[in-house]
């Protein structure tokens, strides 16, 4: 999803299916399982693999403006609520 690597997690645990359709995400939200997409920026993973710690430190220190739904965790990770009136992750 937009430069992030991660997966969908609910109150019941991670969703392990390869494809979680928008209707499934809405159903999880309607059942109050609070589905969220938890991911980390692909660029940070690449910098860590390439042994570029300063690039990771600089990126984490950058101020990021969350939007009305997504919020960063100040370590390169993002948490995005899913379901009705939230975000829906489409298959790519």
pTM over 0.75: no
The predicted structure's pLDDT at residue 50: 92
CB of 64 closer than 8 Å to CB of 42: no
The predicted structure's pLDDT at residue 26: 87
The predicted structure's pLDDT at residue 48: 87
Of 20, 42, 24, 9, which is closest to residue 92 (Cα–Cα)? 20
* Calpha distance 30→12 (Å, rounded): 14
| pLDDT, mean of each 10-residue run, the chain (92 residues) | 80 82 86 87 87 83 67 72 67 46
The predicted structure's pLDDT at residue 36: 87
Q: What phi and psi, each to the nearest 5 degrees, are found at residue 35?
A: -70, 135
The predicted structure's pLDDT at residue 2: 64
């Amino acid at each position: 999803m937009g430069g992030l690597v991660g997966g969908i997690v609910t109150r019941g645990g991670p969703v392990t299916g390869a494809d979680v359709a928008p209707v499934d995400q809405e159903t999880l939200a309607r059942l109050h399982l609070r589905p969220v997409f938890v991911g980390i920026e692909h660029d940070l993973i690449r910098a860590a693999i390439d042994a570029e710690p300063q690039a990771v430190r600089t990126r984490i220190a950058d101020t990021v403006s969350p939007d009305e739904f997504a919020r960063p965790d100040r370590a390169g990770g993002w948490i995005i609520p899913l379901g009705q009136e939230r975000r829906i992750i489409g298959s790519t």
